[in-house]
Every structure is written in structure tokens, then in C-alpha cells.
Chain A
Amino acid sequence: MSSSAPVATKKRNMSKQDGPVIIRRPEHTVEIVSDSGEGAQKCGQIFGMVSARMGNGVWTVELIPAEIQPPPRTPTGASGNRVRIGTKPVTNWGDAANLVVAFNEQVLLARHQLDALQDDAIILLENMWATHDDEDIRREWAAVMEELSTTNYRIIEVPMEEQSLTITDNPRKGKNMFVLGMLAWIYNRDVEIIRDMIRLQFRKKAKEVAEKNIELMDLGYRWAGEHLDFRVEVPIEHPGVPMVVMNGNQTLAMGAIASGMELCAMYPITPATSVSHYLGEIFEDFGGIVHQAEDEIAAAGVAIGSSYAGKVAFTVTSGPGLALKTEFIGLATMVEVPLVVLDVQRGGPSTGLPTKVEQADLLAAMYGQPGDAPKVILAPATIEECFHTVITARRIAEALRCVVIVLTDANLATGVQPFPRPNFDARWQAGPIDLSPVPEGVKPYDWDPDLGLSRRFIPGQPGGMHTLTGLSHDERSKVAYDPESHERGCAMRSRKIAVLQQTLKPPEIYGDPSGDLLVVAWGSTKGAIEEAVDRLRAEGHRVSSIHLRFLSPLEPGLKDIFSRFKKVITVEINYSDRLGEPHITPENRRYGQLAWLLRASTLVDVDCWTRVPGQPLRPKGIEEGIKSMLPGRQR
């Protein structure tokens, strides 16, 4: 199986009498990659959905180029999906794909170069390029085949175009359904469910469109049955509770609705915008609106104005937008108007990696404002948690009259995972706007000196007239430049955060409560880290992990937990200097963002293993990273 062409030839001559080999695995990962616009993503989404519906654990990741229509047949234009399915719940995208369906050899090459494929991956590759009229294309094909000839991949050439042409005269628009059919046969998916999903997908188009797509899918299914010599079985264990399957931006949007917020002010920015796409479709059914502002700054301002005048509002953005909103976030903090900011992080700085994951806005969220601007920062770790975190964020913002920033990332935003369906609680929602009179003598900032909390004033409340100001002010909201008032205001705004911290529980430890090495992390990396920790523990290493949801204030008990491990490291998707690289010394080394915070707050010598690959971390990479840092190891 060292070279591709003979395998394909051999397969065609292969006798089917023995039936296909069944590859039985607790989990399997498939990638579908194409040029942009060829529908690999749609194919992957439907495949993921049908797998979830049948009871498999699923995690899907979108592979997205930055452009809408990058040049065809280029490695940088590769677009598609990775779908990892398992018998148990799947919590991350895994290490490398076992099966790849590639619409041309260039996108396959891209995945190969990114180390995305298992050594023994099976590849189903469109073969129309091998005999293409254009000599350059034939040459490109040959070059890639040459490069891949040294690998252990099993490449199976598939006449996707030729087959699809028997049903549609535009295979570019239908090949993905042929591929879906092949995958349905390979993984033994319920074709009736797929047919329904195709119909749902094309419900807004003419009926013939859906039927043609179904025909293509059926053809792929038959073709695979007649030509392929393997099938994959990932046994199903039904989870036993009703499940839903969504991506993280959808759950953020649903959480916002469930929290009772009624205004989303935003400006388009990848990868956050799909939150507002989704809300744009359904928010008005709940009495809410999406306001697309003239810029990121105005979006924050409209949310603050709306929140000031009634129900807590939110704005949704990504790194560059967070930077622009900085001044308004400072204002909301100063005037104590509740505000929820959803930041779907991407690679930075500047425009950075718009479609790719990074966890690099933590310190900007924390310290982005001039002056002291204490606020709450939350980081959901899973797609399901995105939903509940927004609900929590709204309640905290309102109770504490403060800004709450929720940090998710591109991995959660576009990842799709089944999770138990939430049972709604009416208490999650904000109550109606309170327009009752302000009791005589109550001041706009009647801070409880112990808690820093004060009554929220809303325009329309008789007797509450006052002017909010971003200038330093006293309890009556009067501009006050005297030392005492400024000290007091700062203390009261900070006090609330401390009070919140005292209501929190210490984080749960994954693994033993003591050991050689503790991994501390936040956000979307949880699944991959815990998988790595499991593998290391299975090998006998004394490794545990904790995952923080509250980053400001930090959860209690960290120093105590850290003291029970010989070494503490963070694992994060952001940049840090590595010792051993030119000019990097223990004195000038810059750490990962959570590591900075933990070092500062605990005085523990927290180390870090961070990477910025523009893609989610893989369990294997984390495992190796942790191994390299185990106490007693040479680095």
C-alpha cells in the first residue's frame, strides 16, 4: 500500500465476494475537503448531524479559508469539515483524520502538509484531474501523487465528477451529495434521516432541487457499496437523555434569548457575526432586535444606552472589535451600567487570523481600559456552556451593575456537538423594567460600603433624576475631583468583584488532587486537554488538570490546589516565549496570558505550554507538550 495508483487499480479488479472489511473503532475521524463553494462543509454538517441523531458522540470543526472564493485548486483555499464521531461523547477534534474525502489533490496536499492525516489514513480522491484536458493540471496532479507516494496513505481514486454527471450537468453543485452518500454507506448511516435533512436544507428552493440532491446522495451510496472494500463501524451508545446539536455561536445566541436580553448591537466581524445572523432570523419572535451599528464603537454605545434605559443589552464582537469598544467598556464600568460583551476570539494581533482560533484576548479584556476598570470575565469551555454562560453573564452584569465579558473562540463558534437539551427556567430571564419611584434619599451610587453594590436607576423612575458621568463622581453622581471621592469610587467598583469571588467554588480537579504536574486552562481547550491527561495518566504519569470558567475574578483556592503539585503549567492557544530560543531568558520571557495572571495572583512559579497554530490544539500535541515539561525532565 505504499503507492496510490496500484491500489486503485487493484481495488477495481477486486472480487467483492468476501464483502467489505469492517473497521470497528470506538471513534473515527473523517475530513471532507474541497475548493470553496463545492459544498464540502454542507456535506460534513449533514454527516455530523445524522451521526449525532443516530446517537454517536460528535465534534465537527469547520476548515475555513479567509476568502469567500479563493482561487480553485490551491492548498490555501481548502475548505471543508472535520467530523470526529465516537461511541462516547466527543469533546474535541482529535489528532488526525482516519478518512479523507478530497475533491482535488491540492486541497488534499494542504491537509497533508498541516499534518492533519493519520499515517494510515484512507483517502477518497476525485480522479478527474489525472486525465484533465489542461496539461498544467495533469502535471500538478502528478507532482502531488509523487509527493504522497512516500506516505502510508491508502489513496482510492473515485470518479466523483463522472458519476455526478449522470444526474446533474453541474457537478460542482452536486458532488458533495455524492460524497455524502459514499460516507453514508461507509459508516452505515440511516439514509432516511439523511433524505429528510436534505429536504430540510433545500426547503426554500424548488422541490426538484432537493430531489436531485437526494438522487446524487443515493448514487454515492450505491457506488460505494459496489466499489469500496471497507466499511467503518463506530458502535452507538444512546445517551439516554434528549439531546440537541448546535454550534457555539448558536448556543451563545440562544443563551442571550434565554437570559431575557432584548438588544444585540453589533458590527460584522468574523468569527462572531454568525451569532447575529442567527439572532437576525429569530430574535424578533422573542421581542428582541439585532441592531447593526455603523461601527464597533457605536455598537457598544447603543448597547450601553439601551441597557441604561431598561433591560441589559449585549454586543458581540471579536478581537479588533473589542479593541475599538475599549473606551465604551471603560465608560460602562465607570457609570456602572450593566453590559454584556461576547468576544468570539480569533488570531491576533491586528487583523491576524480572522477565521482561526486563538485565546489571546484575555489580557486585553482584563486590562484593556485606561485607569482601573474592574469587570467580570467568563470563559465557557464547551458549546453547551456557551448557552449557560450568557445567562450567567446577564445576571451578574445586572446584579453587580458591571461589565461582563464572555470569551469564546472560533473553535467553539463553529464546532458542532450534541449536548443534553436544556430545561428552561423562567428565572433565567430578566424581569420587566422596574419603573417604580426611587425612595426618597436613595442616591444613584448608594454603595453598600461593605459590598460596593447599589440600586440600579432607570430613566422613567420618578425621583431618580441624575446625570451619569464618566468623570470621577460621588454617591450623588456629582462630578468630584477630590482625592477621597476618587479613591472611594475605585474601591467600590473593585469591591463588587471581590464579593463575587467569595461566592464562587474552587475549580474541580480532573484527575488526582495532587501529583507531579497540574495543567490549568480555560476556554475551548478543555476536551483536548482532558483527553491528553487521560492518556498520560494511563501511562502512569501523575498529571491532573483544572479548567477555569471565571477569569475575573479568578476562582478561589488556586494557590492551595497548586501547592499539591510539583509543577503547574497553563496550556493555552496564545503566544509565549520559549526558553532556549535566541535571547529568551527567564528574566525577559513573556508567558501565556493565563500564566501571567496566575503568576501575579498566586506568586506560584506557573509555567506555560502555549501554541498559536491557528487551529485547535490536538490532544497528541498537548500530551507531548506536557511530557516535555514533567518535573525531572530535560527541556
Chain B
Amino acid sequence: MIQASCSLLGYGIDDDDDRSWRMDDYAGAIARWCPGCGDHAILTAVERLLETEQLPPERTVFVSGIGCSSRFPHYLTTYGFHGIHGRALPIATGVKLRRPDLHVFVVMGDGDCCSIGAGHWIHAVRYNVNMVALMLDNGIYGLTKNQTSPTTPQHYASNTQPKGSFLMPLNPMSTTLGVSNASFVAQTADWIPAHLYATIHAAYQHRGFSFVRVLQRCPQYTSDIFEEAVRNPKMTEMLVHPDGVETPELDKIYTNKRVHDPRDLDTARHLAEPSDHVRLGIFYRNETKERYEELRAQRVHTAQERIARLNEEFDKYAV
């Protein structure tokens, strides 16, 4: 499909590309996240994905917003666009709209996606442009040093709400599943590398907008919010299905499993509601949803074709 749309757009794709890449080839600057930050594991999983899929670095673009997580592109050797707070998705949409041949990833934080960029998030789900969107959710604004985010647990203290956050947190999974045209919605955690990798791999393979919420530990400000889930595997409920994420190597640790067919949207919405469990896996997947960049694909016109057509257009206004 990508090949087809690229030739349609006139961009040469080298079919006999005999280069090969190792994980190290994708590494960029040394990551400057805090020791123990969940982002390190996510970066490693992404590098592994790039190697597995052998994505040419020059045809891979990581777009991010602002925040700890948004430093992500700097730590890779692909094309990267470290943009402005909350607005990674419009940039990524623009990239993919005119260059469907590029592999586009978006990395954003909970403040980025669910607060300042919430409008873009809702509409990106609806556009269903083929890209992977990773929302690294540590429940806090870290880079600006400990302010309440939309996903901070209620009553949890921060510098802006020292007596504890006033409101119930926003539920990113329910919200995403509630948007019409949602096509891939999954949740994973930074502390389970096998599941993390399997989930973003499935996200990459999905054709459409793949939204992955990664529960991410912040050792500095919210070290305790996932502590219990990390310590006690029983608290985690793995959503499993032949069409979902299967991680047999984890079976002995994560014994709490639920079979969930990712085609079942009603159940997905039910499972996304708050519960005593941390549910991980693919909540929903539907490849039949229309992809905006395909709806809007145009063929390339030569300069001469355009001039001929412009002249026709001017004829309409000739006096």
C-alpha cells in the first residue's frame, strides 16, 4: 500500500535497498532522562522495533511536543521534529498527509496529549492517519518540576495542588475509545519490556492511527503511583487474544489474564473504565476504518499540466 501510494505521488522508493540496520544505528544522543525513568525502556523498545522492521532512518520521522518524553527524537538517529507543547499531532498529520512514504511516530506526554493538545488528540484519532502515537503517561508534569496533570490521581499532591489534586483524573483510554473512527487503542507499561515491545510492534503494524498509552514511571515525582502494580503482578490483567498481544514468556508472572477480542468495541469501553486492575493489551483494533491520508491522496501534476489547467481556469474569468 505504501509502495503504491508513493509511486502515485512520484517519490522514488528504492526497492533493492540492500542496506541493513542494527539497533545501534538508530541510537542518537545519550538520553538525559533521570536514572530509573520509564522513558529509557520505551526508547529501547522503539529502537528494537526499528531494527526488527528495518526502517530506513532517513524515511522515519519522530515528532514530539514538549516535556520529558518529547526529548525522545533527540535520542534517535532518524529525522525528528521536537515541536511545541501539545502540538506534535498536527505536525505529524502534515508530514504524513503529503508524504505517506514516511514512517511517522509521535511521542507525547500526558500533559502534551491530554491537556494542552487535547483538541488535536481527539481529531487525530478521528483522522486516523497511519502513524504510531505513543502517549507516555507518568501522571505528572516532570520537566517543569511537578505540576498536576490531567492524569494525576485524585488527591495526589504536586507543586500546583499541594493539598492534593482536586479532580478525578481524565481517562485517556475511555476518551480515545469514545472518538468515532478510533482504529487502534492499546495500553502497556514501561516495566514490562516484552509487553511494551509487543504492543508498539502491533501498533506499528496496524494501518491507521495507533494510540498507545504507556504507563510510565517517574522516579522523581510520581514514584509511587505504579509501585503496587510493579510489585504485584496479580494487579495486572493481561488482555489476550490471537488478534491481540500475546506474550507467552510472561505467562508465569502475569497469570491474571482475560480473553478480549480487539474487535469488540463495547467490551473495550467497559474494560477501559477504572477498576482494581491495571489492564494491558490491545483494547480495540479495526483496520477497516478509513485513513485520512488515503482519502486525500492526489497524483503529482507536472508544471506543464498545471499551467494548462490554470489557463483553463482563467478562461472562466476572461472578459
Contacts and interface: CB of A to CB of B under 8 A. Distances in A.
A-side binding surface: helix, strand, loop or mixed? mixed
Given A49-B319, A464-B79, A309 B119 contact: no
A14 interface: no
B166 interface: no
A597 interface: no
A629 interface: no
A305 B304 contact: no
A288 B299 CA distance: 9
B301 A245 contact: no
A286 B314 contact: no
A471 interface: yes
A293 B94 CA distance: 10
A123 B173 CA distance: 66
A467 B317 contact: no
B93 A305 contact: yes
Contact of B318 (A243, A293, A309, A328): A243
Contact of A465 (B57, B66, B84, B90): B57
A462 B79 CA distance: 10
B72 to A, nearest CB: 9
Contacts of A435: 11-12
B93 to A, nearest CB: 5
Contact of A426 (B62, B80, B304, B311): B304
Contact of A303 (B89, B94, B313): B94
A297 interface: yes
Nearest to B76: A467
A151 interface: no
Pick the most buried of B296, B314, B319: most chain A CB atoms within 10 A of its CB: B319
Interface stretch (A155-163, A256-264, A505-513, A571-579): A256-264
A294 B28 contact: no
B309 A242 contact: no
A245 B58 contact: no
B171 interface: no
A479 B299 CA distance: 38
B10 interface: yes
B97 to A, nearest CB: 6
Contacts of B90: 293, 297-302, 304-305
A293 B93 CA distance: 10
A284 B314 contact: no
Contacts of B99: 309-310, 459-460
A310 B10 CA distance: 12
A308 B57 CA distance: 16
B296 A461 contact: no
A309 B95 contact: yes
Given A298-B119, A308-B91, A471 B318 contact: no
B318 A461 contact: no
B83 to A, nearest CB: 6
Interface string B56-85: 111101110010000001101111111110
Among B61, B83, B94, B317, which residue has the most Cβ atoms of chain A within 10 A?
A: B94
Contacts of B83: 301, 331, 468, 470
Interface stretch (A127-135, A344-352, A417-425): A417-425
Interface string B1-26: 00000000011100000000000000
Interface in B114-128: 119-120, 122-123
B94 A301 contact: yes
A477 to B, nearest CB: 9
B87 interface: yes
Nearest to B91: A305
Interface in B124-147: none
B94 A309 contact: yes
A429 interface: yes
B47 interface: no
B314 A460 contact: no
Contacts of A297: 87, 90
Given A49-B319, A421-B318, A429 B303 contact: yes
A432 interface: yes
Interface string A61-105: 000000000000000000000000000000000000000000000
Nearest to A424: B307
Contacts of A309: 61, 94-95, 98-99, 102
Contacts of A460: 11, 58-59, 99, 101-102
Contact of A262 (B73, B79, B98, B303): B98
Contact of B311 (A424, A462, A463): A424
B74 A479 contact: yes
B94 A433 contact: no
B7 to A, nearest CB: 14
Interface string A457-483: 001111111111111000000110000
Contact of B93 (A55, A242, A287, A302): A302
B6 to A, nearest CB: 10
B253 interface: no
B300 interface: yes
A318 interface: no
A561 interface: no
A307 interface: yes
Contacts of B57: 465
Contact of B92 (A258, A260, A305, A307): A305
A260 B98 CA distance: 14
B97 A426 contact: no
B102 A305 contact: no
Contact of A459 (B10, B102, B301, B313): B102
Nearest to A302: B94
Contacts of B300: 287, 432
Contact of B301 (A52, A287, A301, A471): A287
B180 interface: no
B270 interface: no
Interface in A251-307: 254, 257-258, 260, 262-263, 265, 282, 284-289, 291, 293-295, 297-307
A311 B102 CA distance: 15
A38 to B, nearest CB: 26
Given A301-B91, A302-B94, A465 B303 contact: no
Contact of B82 (A265, A300, A307, A469): A469
Contact of A467 (B81, B307, B319): B81
A459 B79 contact: yes
A541 interface: no
B58 A465 contact: yes
B252 interface: no
A278 to B, nearest CB: 10
B69 to A, nearest CB: 14
A244 B319 contact: yes
A468 B94 contact: no
B164 to A, nearest CB: 31
Contacts of B298: 262, 284, 287-289
B231 interface: no
A245 B319 contact: yes
Nearest to A311: B98
A294 B94 contact: no
A244 B316 CA distance: 8
21 contacts: A242-B318, A263-B98, A288-B298, A289-B296, A291-B296, A294-B122, A294-B123, A297-B90, A301-B89, A302-B94, A304-B90, A305-B90, A309-B61, A309-B99, A327-B87, A426-B304, A460-B11, A460-B59, A460-B102, A467-B82, A479-B74
Interface of A: 49, 52-53, 55, 242-246, 250, 254, 257-258, 260, 262-263, 265, 282, 284-289, 291, 293-295, 297-311, 313, 327-328, 331, 335, 418, 421-422, 424, 426, 429, 432-433, 435, 459-471, 478-479
Given A302-B90, A327-B87, A426-B307, 5 more contacts: A52-B319, A310-B98, A459-B102, A460-B58, A470-B83
Interface of B: 10-12, 28-29, 56-59, 61-63, 66, 73-74, 76-84, 87, 89-99, 101-102, 119-120, 122-123, 296, 298-301, 303-304, 306-307, 309-311, 313-314, 317-319
- In the complex, the 5 A-B pairs of residues with the closest C-beta atoms, listed nearest first: A305-B94, A301-B90, A467-B80, A302-B94, A305-B91
